[in-house]
A and B are shown apart, each in its own frame.
Chain A
Amino acid sequence: MSYKNTSDREVCGKKPGESITDKELADFGANIDALVESGTISTSSASFKPVVNESGA
């Protein structure tokens, strides 16, 4: 899983807008939940497909 640095400062040595991997976050001892909660990083690889409920006529 990868994340995007959505802050205006360096995170894991990555500049704003750059992507950060799970491993890089782990190497820095980052608390991923806290960083996501604070809006410092966001998931960049997640793509959600809406669930369509089809019902009969």
Chain B
Amino acid sequence: MSRIVLTNMSVTVGAVDLSDHITSVTIETTVEAVSTTAMSSAGLTSQIGGLKTNTVTLDFHQDFAASNVEVTMFPLIGTATTVLVKPAAGATALTNPLYTISDVLVTSWTPINGGVGELSTASVTYPCGAVVKTIV
């Protein structure tokens, strides 16, 4: 397998392809470590996996034009949506898996963020439900 430099990710939010306005995506799954440490643990802690927490972080270039970032995201505040992410545009494959992130709860949105002379951007992290990986 070859290493990959991300230059052409495919990112769809609520069915709308916003790839050309997204600069960074992070999908993270964490598992709670539940202690099973007991007296017979030989002085070591031990754990088993507990509840999973999935989050997705998206960094946007803000754009107020029709059918663009703001008009797509603003109506989603407080609702759950679906985010689809692929490392590269094009067909889904073993080397280009599709991550379907369901029940992404839009808990916040920053329509205006930036100072004078700066590019208007928005960076959000949302809790979500299942993250399903598809390779075909």
| Residues of A that sit less than 8 Å from B by CB | 6-13, 25, 28-31, 33-35, 37-40
In the bound complex, do residue A31 and residue B81 qualify as a contact, i.e. CB atoms below 8 Å apart?
Answer: yes
Is B67 among interface residues, defined by CB-CB distance under 8 A? yes
The segment out of B10-18, B39-47, B110-118 that lies at the interface is B10-18
Q: What CA separation (Å) do A25 and B17 show in the bound complex?
A: 13
Q: Count of A-B contacts with CB under 8 A?
A: 64
Q: What CA separation (Å) do A4 and B66 show in the bound complex?
A: 15
In the bound complex, do residue B75 and residue A38 qualify as a contact, i.e. CB atoms below 8 Å apart?
Answer: yes
> B79: which A residues are within 8 A, CB to CB?
31, 34
In the bound complex, do residue A28 and residue B76 qualify as a contact, i.e. CB atoms below 8 Å apart?
Answer: no
Is B102 among interface residues, defined by CB-CB distance under 8 A? yes
Contact bitstring B66-89, A, C-beta under 8 A = 1, else 0:
111001101110010110100000
CB distance from A6 to the nearest CB of B (A): 7
Total contacting residues, chain B, CB less than 8 A:
21
Q: Known contacts being A37-B75, A38-B72, is A30 close to B14, with CB within 8 Å?
A: yes
Q: What CA separation (Å) do A38 and B69 show in the bound complex?
A: 10
In the bound complex, do residue A28 and residue B17 qualify as a contact, i.e. CB atoms below 8 Å apart?
Answer: no
Q: What CA separation (Å) do A10 and B13 show in the bound complex?
A: 11
In the bound complex, do residue B15 and residue A33 qualify as a contact, i.e. CB atoms below 8 Å apart?
Answer: no
